[in-house]
Amino acid sequence: MRYPVFAIYIILMLIGNGFALFKMFNEKQEFLSNFPKLSEESFYLFRFLPLLNIVGLAGLWFYQTWAVWLSIACGLAVIFFDLYFGIYYHLYVAIISTAILLYFIIRYWNAFK
């Protein structure tokens, strides 16, 4: 890892997504009862996003170009899901973390080529 601040950010994102994955698999009924617009089918798709984001973050660690697009798509998908299903408390985390990730990607874009 060439850029230590970027490495620290990726590690923090991996920890956060790991926690989200843990919560999604252990508290399904809590999610479904707290957010009535969230159906069981959409919850399964929503639960898949942290896992997909972990794959993207692992690719970013090794400066893979495909990981840039996967991470951006995952970040935007999480923001869309949060808005659509009314999970507003998570928007603060999703928007800020996606914006910081975009900043790092733009700043170190040449490392991904």
> Is the Cα dihedral 46, 7, 91, 27 positive or negative?
positive
Indicate if the pLDDT at residue 9 is higher than 80. yes
Burial class (CB in 10 A: 0-12, 13-18, 19+), 95: middle
Indicate if the pLDDT at residue 59 is higher than 80. yes
Q: What is the pLDDT of residue 2?
A: 82
Q: What is the pLDDT of residue 45?
A: 87
Tokens representing 109 are 């874009």
The Cα–Cα gap between 68 and 56 comes to: 7
| Average pLDDT, rounded, for the chain | 94
CA 46: distance to chain centroid? 11
Indicate if the pLDDT at residue 107 is higher than 90. yes
Indicate if the pLDDT at residue 113 is higher than 80. no
What's this model's pTM, rounded to 2 decimal places?
Answer: 0.90
The Cα–Cα gap between 111 and 63 comes to: 6
The Cα–Cα gap between 65 and 21 comes to: 24
Beta-carbon contacts of residue 51 (< 8 Å; ≥ 6 apart): 17, 21
Task: Please name the amino acid found at residue 62.
Answer: F
Indicate if the pLDDT at residue 13 is higher than 80. yes
Token match 């926690």: residue? 19
The Cα–Cα gap between 78 and 98 comes to: 9
pLDDT tens digits, 17-45: 999 999 999 999 999 999 999 999 999 88
